[in-house]
Structure 1
Amino acid sequence: MVDPRRRRRADPQAPVSVAGLVLRFSLAGLVVMALLGTVLAVLARQAGTEQAVDSARQVAYVAGRGIAEPRLTDAVLAGDPAALRALDVDLHRYVLQGSLVRVKLWRADGRILYSDEPRLVGQGFPLQEDETEALEQGLVDSEISDLSAPENVYERPFGKLLEVYVGLTSASGERLLFEAYFRYDAVVTAAEAQWRKYAPPTLAGLLALQLVQIPFAWSLARRLQRQQRERQRLLQRAVDASQVERRRIAGDLHDGVVQDLTGLTYALDAARLGPDRPDGHRELVGRAAKQLRASVADLRTLLVEIYPPDLAVEGLPAALTDLAAGLERAGLRVDLDVEDSADLPLDVASVLFRSGQEVLRNVVAHSDARHVALQAGRRDGVASLVVDDDGRGFDAADLDRRFAEGHIGLRSLGDLIDDSGGTLSVRSAPGQGTRVEIVVPVA
């Protein structure tokens, strides 16, 4: 069973909307601008964060190497209370200010030599690998503080912190680790400041570019609209020229050779039926008259195919009746039911007539049918044409083979119906005939 279906496509003749095209272009531009703005925001925040972290590392380095390291005397290392108080006063005066809220001095064994939080002094905690590396090699490193760690219990009230390590060396050569804690709010504020610095001019530039492009988009859309109209005008002129040429050829045939052959047929009949004619002469004249009648019938069929009857005047039933007469002259029995298709709009009647013409041509050429049922009608806002034959039928492989061999009549018919907003349904099977149904909406 073969049942090809075609979907309705957008009308290619629909006029281009300049405003619609420009609107879509503008919306696409705004979407792109929003995406670029989002990417810019992320990059600016990231750059601001990195810059703020670098600034904190520099502050910690200066505080450690410039302020704390020169004050690491033997008395401080020995834990002398007076020396530690003097160190504490200096660090509070020069270091512990702004976003820097906590300072710790670590020995290599993990004990805290000094902190502005007295409760931490003398406590020991295991150093992490990166902390040990900074201590031993005199490096500068930073990370987000883990406030859940035991050594950070007194930093929890400050909230999220950035801790920076700086390796120091005392006057006696002992390696120590200077650790400074910064409020992370300062890092976030720096990142936002970076975003506010670069985002407005960048977004303003993108918006200006979008506004500059709109007139050009409008001009291109107008040009596209003019080209479409010109293309439609040329297409309509070609269609009209084809119709005029078909009408001229059909008129010449009808008024010329068909009339001559019809007159000749009457003359031969008169000669055949007249008195005192030899029997052989009468038989010859009879055969000639019969052949001429067949030629006239073929010419009339050709006239219908070249230029169909005036559907606007005679209607679709008359045109389909002429097609059925051609089938009967070819030896097929035709059941015709087309009265319900009268008064259809001309464009719908033309589509159904052309469809029926192509389908019946395929029946004669390929089906070996003896009986054809042709039905056309209108119901519930749609017009339909159904052609049933009792021929040999076909399957999908046969249909593909015919397409490969260049038989594109059925495919062209589908395109014609699809362009009119209708559907084509073909059902067939080997030995079970073929049913073709065309449905076209009636405006």
Structure 2
Amino acid sequence: MPSTHYRQHGRRSWRSDALVRHWRDRLGMQEYSPVADELVRNEQAGGDSGMFMKFHEFADRWNSQSLAKQFLLTGGLVSFAAMILVGSFVTNLIEAAVTRNSAATTALYVDSVIAPLLPDMQTNEMLGDTATRALDETLGQGALGDRLVSFKLWRRDGTILYSSDKSLVGKRFHPNENLQAALAGRMTAEFHGIGDDVGRITEQASGKPLLDIYNPILQPWSGKVVAVSEFSEIADQFQQSLDQARLHSWLAVALFTLAFFLALSVIVYRGSQTIDSQRQVLRQRVEELSTLLEQNRALHTRVQRASKRAAALNESYLRRIGADLHDGPAQLIALASLRLDGAALTDPANSGPAREHEIVTIKENLDEAMREIRRICKGMILPHIETAALPEILRMAVHAHQHHTGTTVDLFTSGASPQLSASARICIYRFVQEALNNSYRHAGGIGQRVTQTSQNGHIIIEVADRGPGFDPASVRPDGLGLAGLRERVESLGGRFIIESSQDGTKVTMSLEVDEMEPA
């Protein structure tokens, strides 16, 4: 229907059909609907149909994956992003702590060396020549000379009181953030690795990692900041320590994240396996229930058909019994009744011998009617088979047939005798009785044979003869004989087979032993 609609409107395309099918399925529609068509037009008008289809294809593929795979993909990405964020945060904290500790140690050492060389910075705005030479000698030799690349002494107003670069002495600069923090009484430090832009030519030319330290100089008796010393230390060992700390922190975060992710993965995997197994079991149960439902429907249909057939058969049996009674005993009784009202008995002029002859004739008619009634009743009433075993039931059916027809029937039985339900006993007796009657009626009782065997949990009974045979397809489905037998056998879950040729006919029934066990 969508194809016809799009051809009518001149805008048929594979993408339109795909979108129509998608929205039709989502809306539970079996045929074309204007609602689905409107949704397709809205999506195409927005130019997002391709992206929409790709998104839903991706969603379908994603939903088809197991929970374990979904967690591995999603959890892996989230864990990796969390590891990067946490690792960066922890590394920055460790780097700041290591930098501050190293800077504090260096600043304490430098302060202990240069503090005795400085005048009272509260009262002296500039350094004298003596203090300058002392600083030059101290900073130019020994450990400080080897470790410090540059040194500056700042006054509170931003003027450089002393510098290893003499061209900067006396100049005034606007304090940067680190200098302002030091003037506020806080020591600050900043690490510059190899290749970093330091911003100063002298330090940049060293080609080594540097640790810039801004250390406030305090007045001893008041604790007031009177100046700030700024120096750049060569930080080879510090960089090694910092790199090692970074590596250890990243490894710790990575290992913890990996362990956490693996632990959750194991739990999710086990849960996913349980869910998948339960889903598989449920799918199998649904399939089994669907199969059982179909079987129940088929059985229900068969039961309904069998019930209708049983009702029809009962009516046919009643009609046949009525016909037999009408054509046999009823005619004889009617004849006897007419003779009772005849002149031979009612006319006083008739002699004694004539009356005696008429009475004898009436008695013969009534005796014949009684024999016909007994014969009909004998065919309707089963012998006492409630407690009989299978071989005994077969012998009773064969004996009754031989007595009634005067023919010979060969009986062969083999295998164990199972426990039978009452319905199974009746079915077996009626099967042998009706099959032998048909054999006598159509084959003249030639070569009649009854065989009982056991095979694969089934009881198999065959009734055969050597008559001329017939066409099994010609059996009327509404007949009383073979059709009734088939319905009776199949109602117990058995099988009924007719095989006929010019060499004879064989009728076979089989019942499962488990189905025949008494409740």
TM-score range, shorter chain: 0.3 to 0.5
Larger Rg: 2
TM-score (norm 1): 0.38
TM-score (norm 2): 0.33
Q: Which has the higher contact order (CA 8 A, sep 6+)?
A: 1
